[in-house]
Amino acid sequence: MTTIPSPPTFAGNDSSLANLQALAACSRFLVETGPAWHFCNDVATSIPAGTPTMMPMRAITDNDGLYTSPGFATIQTRGYYKCDLSLPVGGSYTVRAYLLLTTAPTGNPRGAGVTTPFAMQASYASSVALTLNGSDMTPYCCYPGDTIKLYCWSAGANAQVVNSAGYGTATRAASGTLYASFTGRYLSYGT
């Protein structure tokens, strides 16, 4: 878990060296060391008709120990996160991709096991492969143990378009799509 520096308390014209150093540590945390991850997938994943399916991922970058097999983020540092998804899938069916935030069994004031979808993206019956892209901030503050997972739903049997060049590298699979990815980064402390 990343240690969040304590912001200084300024009283009047107090610009002591200690307060300025504490302020610099807070700025450095936000710019340089905030928790972040980048997960990708290069394995063909079937998406059964009408069944929400969690998409497996591999960790490319993870500076806070967030990666949990088979490919979702388990929050270690309390706060709000900005998340992005990119999922290339086959065409011909209505397809939805979204992130699912689930609160931990203990510690989150919202209660245990509260599940909230966000960053929802949908496509309606395309005849070619397409990439669903979504981006959103977590709908509420995340606490250690909360999880964020990438899900896909399709009206008909479908599959993720596979990146034959290996994960982490863009490719022209089907109609110029990119590899499946799920990224996130820390935005701010919250309650």
Determine, yes or no, domain membership for 26. Answer: no
* Domain harbouring 69, CATH code: 2.60.120.40
Q: pTM for this structure?
A: 0.79
56 located within any domain:
yes
DSSP codes of every residue in the chain: -PPPPPPP---TT---HHHHHHHHHHHHIIIII--EEEEEE-S--EE-BT--EEPP-EEEEESSS-EETTTEEE--S-BEEEEEEEEEE-SSS-EEEEEEEE--SSS-TT-TT-EEEEEEEEE---SS-EEEEEEEE-SS-B-TT-EEEEEEEESS-EEBPP-TT-TTS---BTTTB--EEEEEEEEE---
Has residue 126 been placed in a domain? yes
Tell whether 101 is covered by a domain: yes
Per the prediction, the chain carries an average pLDDT of 83
> Looking at the predicted structure, is the pLDDT value of residue 168 above 60?
no
- Domain residues for the domain of 56 are 34-188
Identify the pLDDT of residue 150: 95
pLDDT in tens, 35-75: 899 998 877 788 999 999 999 999 999 989 999 999 999 99
pLDDT above 70 for 172? no
**pLDDT of 187 higher than 60:** yes
Is 57 domain-assigned? yes
| Domains in the chain, number | 1
Residue 27 lies in a domain: no
Residue 39 lies in a domain: yes
